[in-house]
A and B are shown apart, each in its own frame.
Chain A
Amino acid sequence: MNRHSFFVCESLQRVMQNASPALACTLLLCGLLMSATGCGKTPAASFRPNMVEAAKQRLTPDQEAQVATILEAMFGTPDDPVALPETGLDVSKLRLAAGPVHSDIVGRKNGLFREHCSHCHGVTGDGMGPTAAFLNPYPRDYRPGWFKFKSTERADKPTHADLVTILNNGINGTSMPSFALLGEAKVDALVEYVKYLSMRGEAELSLMRYYFELDDEDEGKLPETREFLVEEILLPVAERWQEAEDAIIDVPEMPEVDLQESIALGKELFYGNKANCVKCHGVTGLGDGQANDYDDWNKVVKQWSDEVLSAHDASTSEMSREEKAEHRAWLARSDKALAGDALDPRTIQPRNLRQAIYRGGRRPLDLYYRIHAGINGAPMPAAAGTLTPDEIWHIVNYVRSLPYEYDGELGADRSMVARDRL
C-alpha cells in the first residue's frame, strides 16, 4: 500500500493516471498565463448612486433607475464624461482627467483623476475611495457641492482659481497633498473635473429630491424633457458655479495700526462676546472649546443614521402586514446604504490655533476670508456684517501671533503645542 495516498483524493488519482504529464503541464501553463495576463478584463468603471439620499427619499427601484438613466444622459460615465453646454465646462479638459489611466497617442497622460484622486475621493467624487475610511479628516465628498476654502462669500461656490490654489498648496493639516508639480494644465483639468463631479452630484441630489415634489398625476416619474432637466435641475447648479467668479469677497486694506496694538485688539475680540472665537477654539486657543459638533457632510449621515436607528426601535405592532413588510424593506435598504455608502460620522474639532497649521492657507488674506465668510460646511460661522473689516484684521493678526505667544500657562498641555513641528 502506498503510504502517502492520503495526500490526494481518489478522483485526482484517476485524472492523473489518464493524462500524460506533458499535456497536463501545458494545460496548466496556459491556464496560469491566461489568468495572469488578463483574458478577463474588469468591467468599466461606473458612478455610484447616492444611496443614502435614495433611501432617505424612499425612492423605488424604478425611480433609482430613472435617476441613473437621466444622469448618464446628462453627465455620461466615468470613462466617457458628457458636459452639456449649460454647465460651462470644458469637455476637452474633462477628457484629460476622466477615464482609466493611460497615455494617449501623443504620450499625454490621461485619466488624471483616477491616477491622483480617486483612491481617496472615489471615482464618483463621493469621498469614499478605498482609502477614505482611514483618513482623518475624511476626503471631501463633492456631491452636495459644499466647498470650504475659497475666496467667495460663504454661500457661494469657489472660483476656479480657489480650487487651483487648493490643488497647488494641498491642505495642510489634512491628508490632501500638493499637486503643484503636476503642472498648470493638469491641475486645471482636475479642477474642471472636480467641478463636473460636484455638478453631477448636486444634480443627482436635486433629481432625487424632486420626486417628493411630484404631483400625483406624474405617477412617480420625473419628466425627461430637456427643458425640465436643464431648467429645473442643471441650471440652478451650473449658474451658481458661474456666478462664483463675481462673488469674490472684497477685502479692505489692513488698518494702519501698530502690529502689537492690532494683536492686542484681536485678542480682546477673540475672548470677547462679540466675536466669541473662544467658545469653540477654547480659552487656550488649542481648539478644545466645542468638541461635539459635526461638519455638514457628517451631520447628514449622523442625522440619517439616528433616524434609521430610532426606526429600528419603533414599534410595528400597529402596522398592517404590507406596511410591516415595507418598513422592513426600507430599514434593510437604509442599513445597507449606511454601511456601504456612508462613512461613520466623526465629530469635527475646531482648529488648534497654536500649531501654525492653517488648512485654508496661511496668508493674512486667507485668514480674512475664513473669518469674514466662515467655513462653508463647517460650524465656523461668517462674521461679515457682525464684525467690521478692521476688527477682522485684528483677529487675523492675533491668530497669526498665537503660535508664537508665550504658552507657559498651558502647563500640562504643552505637548499639544506643536508649532515646533509646523
Chain B
Amino acid sequence: MSTVTHHGPGDTTTVAPARSAQPRPVAEFLSTYVFSKDHKVIGLQFLFSTLVWFLIGGLLALAVRWQVAWPWSDVPVLGKLFAQEGGQMSPEFYTMLFTMHATVMIFLVIIPILAGAFGNFLIPLMIGADDMAFPTLNMLSYWFMWPAFFAFGASFFVEGGAASSGWTSYPPLTTNLGASPGSGMGQTLWLIGLTFVGVSSMLGSVNYMTTIIVMRAPGMTMFRLPMTIWAMFITALLQAFALPVLTAAGFMQLFDRTIGTGFFSPEGSIINNQMTGAGGGQPLLWQHLFWFYSHPAVYIMILPAMGMVSDIMTCFARKPLFGYRPMVYSVAGIAGLGFIVWGHHMFISGMNPALGMTFMVSTMMIALPSAVKTFNWLGTLWGGRIQFTTAMLFAISFVSMFIIGGLSGIFMAATPVDIFIHDTYFIVAHFHYVLFAGTAMGVWAAIYFWFPKMFGRTMNEFWGKVHFFLTFIFLNGTFFTMHILGAVGFPRRLADAYHYETFHHLQPMNAFMTYCAIGMVACQAIFAINFFWSMFYGPKAGRNPWNANGLEWTAPSPPGHGNFDIQPIVYRGPYEYSVPGCEKDHLMQTDPPLEHAVAAAH
C-alpha cells in the first residue's frame, strides 16, 4: 500500500494500520464503497449516479420528441405507464416532461458528471496529490446529491406531477400554486432539489479550489497544470461566486410559494380566475437572479469538457497543446465575461432595452475567447500524428460540434435577430450543440480515455467506434435540423404547434428528428454494454495505455488508496509530446529532465 509522505494540510486519510481483529465485512464495505472518503470512489459514485440519470433524462427527451412529432397520438410505453386518457399525452404531462428533461440533464447529469465525477477523480491524480484537501466534505458533496435525487425523483409521483414550468422556473407561473398542475408540490420539491444540488456543488467547489492551490506535487507550478485542472479550477471559482445568488433566489421563490412573501409576484394579478395574494414583487427579479447564476452555469457545463478535450487531443495528436497560455487565459476570460452577459437571456423579457445593448456588446465579446480556444484546438491537430481512438474521435467531434454551437450563438447575441429567434428551436439547437454535442461528447471522450485508470481495463475500441459513429450521425440528424425550424420561428415548449398555419408544414421534419432521437438513445445501449463488459472483461491496461504525459498515468491502474506508490515530482508541463531529439514520442511530467528536452523547451 501507500508509502506516501503526507503533505496536504487537510489530509486526514492516513492509511489505517492492519487491524488485528477480524474484518467486519459490512462496515468495511460501507466505508470503502458507500461512505468512502476516497476521491476516486466518490468520483465513480458520481459517475454511476449521473449515468443513471442520463438514461432517465434521455428517456424523458424521447417522450418529449414523441409529442412534438406526433401530438395527441398514442404514446407507446409511457401511454401505458401513466394511463393517460385515451393513450394520448396530456399537455401538462408534456410540459412536465420537458421541464424535467432539462432539470435532470443540467442539474443531475452535466454539472455533477463534470465537476463531481471527473473533477473528483482527476484533480488529485493529475496534480499529484493523494486525495482531496477535505475528504469528508468531499464525501458530503456526493451524499448531498441524494436528497436532490429523491426530491426530483419523488416529484414525478406527487399530485399534479413534477415541476412543469420549464427548468428556468419563471414566476409567477411557479410562485402561484394555482397557475399550473406542476406548480404545486412538484415545484416545491424542485426547489428543494435545486438547493441540495447547489450545496453539493458548493462543497465540491471549495474542495477543488483548495486542493488545486495547496496540494500540488513538488514542481507542479500553476502553469504546468493540465488544461483539465485549469478548467476545473475556474469552474470551481464560477460556482463559488454564482451559486449563492441562485440559492438565495431559490429560497425567495420557496418563501413566495409557502409563506406568502411577494418577491416575484406583482400586485393584483388574477391567476386561474382567482385573485393572487401578496403583491409588490417583480417577476423580472427572478430572471435576473436566476440567470446571474445560470449563465455562468452554462460555462460550468462546458469548461471542464473543454479542458478534458484539450488533454485528450494532445495525447492522440502526439503534439503539444497549441498555445497553452492563451488557452488558460481564454478559460479565465470566458469565466470573467460569463458574469456580465446574463442579460442576453432577457432581451425581450421586458427589461430596459438600453440594458439590452450593453449585454449585447459583452455577449459578442465572450465569443472571442471561445474562438481562440477553437483555433488553438485546430492548431493542436495541425502537424500532429493523429491516432483515431474512440476517445480522440469524441474529442475531435467535440471541436467540430462546438464550432456549430458557438457560431449559432452569434445569431442570438445580435439583439434584433434575437427578437425573432428567441424562444424558438434555434435556441434549442444552439444549447444542444453546446451541451449535448459539446459537453456530452467531451464526457464520452473522457470516459473512454480515463476508463483504464478507473477500472484497470480498457473499453472495447471497435464497439466504442460504432457507438461514436451512430451517436454522431443521429445527434446531427436530431439537432442540426432544429436550426432551420428555428428560422421558421418554430417555438419551443409547445405541446402541439401544428394548429398554427405558420408551422403546420414542419411536422414531417419533426418526425425525422424524433426518429433520429430514438436512434440516438437506442445506440447508447452499445455504450452501456461496452462499459459494463469492459469493467470486468476488458483487456487489462497498464499504468499508461495511451502513452500520455499526465501524472495520473504514473499511478497504478486503478490507483490504490493514496493514489501514488512513489511521490511524483514534476519536471515539466503536461504536453511534451514528440519532443525533438527525444527517443520516446512523449515525456511524462515525472520523467527526469533530459538535456535536449530542456533545451527544446526554450
A379 at the interface (CB under 8 A from B): no
Contact indicator B536/A2 (Cβ below 8 Å): yes
Contact indicator B532/A8 (Cβ below 8 Å): yes
A13 at the interface (CB under 8 A from B): yes
Q: Which of A7, A101, A418 lies in contact with B268, CB distance below 8 A? A: A418
Q: B interface, how many residues as a size bin?
A: 35 or more
Q: Which of A4, A24, A36 lies in contact with B77, CB distance below 8 A? A: A36
> In the complex, which residues of chain A have a beta carbon less than 8 angstroms from the beta carbon of B410?
none
A173 at the interface (CB under 8 A from B): yes
> In the complex, which residues of chain B have a beta carbon less than 8 angstroms from the beta carbon of A122?
85
Q: Which of B76, B273, B275, B529 lies in contact with A40, CB distance below 8 A? A: B76
Bound CA span A129–B91, Å: 11
Interface string of A25-46 (1 = CB under 8 A from B): 1001100110111111111010
A73 at the interface (CB under 8 A from B): no
**Chain B residue nearest in CB terms to A355:** B270
| Listed stretches B66-74, B203-211, B347-355, B366-374; interface member | B66-74
B477 to chain A, nearest CB (A): 15
Which chain A residues in 90-114 approach chain B with CB under 8 Å?
A: 100-102, 111, 114
| Listed stretches A133-141, A205-213, A295-303; interface member | A133-141
A127 at the interface (CB under 8 A from B): no
Contact indicator A7/B535 (Cβ below 8 Å): yes
Given A114-B88, A119-B90, A136-B178; A29-B76 close (CB under 8 Å): no
B560 to chain A, nearest CB (A): 9
Contact indicator A21/B86 (Cβ below 8 Å): no
Bound CA span A131–B62, Å: 23
| Listed stretches B99-107, B121-129, B520-528; interface member | B520-528
Given A21-B529, A123-B86, A175-B272; A36-B62 close (CB under 8 Å): yes
A325 at the interface (CB under 8 A from B): no
Bound CA span A387–B79, Å: 55
Contact indicator B79/A42 (Cβ below 8 Å): yes
> In the complex, which residues of chain A have a beta carbon less than 8 angstroms from the beta carbon of B270?
418, 421
Contact indicator A421/B268 (Cβ below 8 Å): yes
B382 at the interface (CB under 8 A from A): no
> In the complex, which residues of chain B have a beta carbon less than 8 angstroms from the beta carbon of A4?
455, 535-536
Given A25-B529, A29-B526, A416-B275; A100-B29 close (CB under 8 Å): no
Bound CA span A174–B272, Å: 7
Contact indicator A37/B535 (Cβ below 8 Å): no
A78 at the interface (CB under 8 A from B): yes
A321 at the interface (CB under 8 A from B): no
Bound CA span A2–B76, Å: 40
A391 at the interface (CB under 8 A from B): no
Given A21-B460, A41-B76, A131-B181; A29-B523 close (CB under 8 Å): yes
Given A7-B535, A42-B80, A45-B87; A136-B521 close (CB under 8 Å): no
Q: A interface, how many residues as a size bin?
A: 35 or more
B264 to chain A, nearest CB (A): 17
**Chain B residue nearest in CB terms to A172:** B273
A406 at the interface (CB under 8 A from B): no
Contact indicator B76/A134 (Cβ below 8 Å): no
> In the complex, which residues of chain B have a beta carbon less than 8 angstroms from the beta carbon of A226?
none
Q: Which of B74, B160, B526 lies in contact with A25, CB distance below 8 A? A: B526
Contact indicator B90/A131 (Cβ below 8 Å): yes
> In the complex, which residues of chain B have a beta carbon less than 8 angstroms from the beta carbon of A101?
71-73, 88
B279 at the interface (CB under 8 A from A): yes
Contact indicator A130/B496 (Cβ below 8 Å): no
Contact indicator A40/B85 (Cβ below 8 Å): no
> In the complex, which residues of chain A have a beta carbon less than 8 angstroms from the beta carbon of B269?
421
> In the complex, which residues of chain A have a beta carbon less than 8 angstroms from the beta carbon of B525?
25, 28-29, 32
**Chain A residue nearest in CB terms to B160:** A134
A268 at the interface (CB under 8 A from B): no
Which chain A residues in 243-288 approach chain B with CB under 8 Å?
A: none
Bound CA span A45–B73, Å: 12
Bound CA span A25–B525, Å: 6
**Chain A residue nearest in CB terms to B515:** A37
Which chain B residues in 154-198 approach chain A with CB under 8 Å?
A: 160, 178, 180-181
Contact indicator B85/A33 (Cβ below 8 Å): no
**Chain A residue nearest in CB terms to B519:** A33
Interface string of B265-284 (1 = CB under 8 A from A): 00111101111000100000
Bound CA span A12–B530, Å: 14
> In the complex, which residues of chain A have a beta carbon less than 8 angstroms from the beta carbon of B88?
100-101, 114
**Chain B residue nearest in CB terms to A41:** B74
Bound CA span A122–B72, Å: 14
Contact indicator B74/A38 (Cβ below 8 Å): yes
B86 to chain A, nearest CB (A): 4
B115 at the interface (CB under 8 A from A): no
B512 at the interface (CB under 8 A from A): no
Contact indicator A7/B48 (Cβ below 8 Å): yes
A118 at the interface (CB under 8 A from B): yes
B49 to chain A, nearest CB (A): 12
Contact indicator B272/A32 (Cβ below 8 Å): no
Bound CA span A174–B269, Å: 15
Contact indicator B85/A37 (Cβ below 8 Å): no
Q: Which of A8, A102, A115, A174 lies in contact with B536, CB distance below 8 A? A: A8
> In the complex, which residues of chain B have a beta carbon less than 8 angstroms from the beta carbon of A28?
525, 528-529
> In the complex, which residues of chain B have a beta carbon less than 8 angstroms from the beta carbon of A22?
463
Bound CA span A35–B81, Å: 12
B33 at the interface (CB under 8 A from A): yes
Interface string of A41-55 (1 = CB under 8 A from B): 111010000000000
Contact indicator A6/B275 (Cβ below 8 Å): no
B10 to chain A, nearest CB (A): 25
B558 at the interface (CB under 8 A from A): yes
Contact indicator B526/A114 (Cβ below 8 Å): no
> In the complex, which residues of chain A have a beta carbon less than 8 angstroms from the beta carbon of B518?
33, 36-37
A84 at the interface (CB under 8 A from B): no
Bound CA span A150–B270, Å: 26
**Chain A residue nearest in CB terms to B558:** A3
**Chain A residue nearest in CB terms to B470:** A29
Bound CA span A35–B72, Å: 18
A41 to chain B, nearest CB (A): 6
Contact indicator B93/A130 (Cβ below 8 Å): yes
Q: 8 pairs across A/B with beta carbons < 8 Å? A: A25-B525, A25-B530, A39-B76, A122-B85, A129-B90, A173-B273, A415-B267, A416-B275
User: Shortest 3 CB-CB distances between A and B: which pairs?
Assistant: A38-B76, A42-B87, A101-B72
Q: Which residues of B contact A (CB under 8 A)?
A: 29, 33, 48, 62, 71-77, 79-80, 84-88, 90-93, 160, 178, 180-181, 267-270, 272-275, 279, 455, 460, 463, 496, 518, 521-523, 525-526, 528-530, 532-533, 535-537, 558
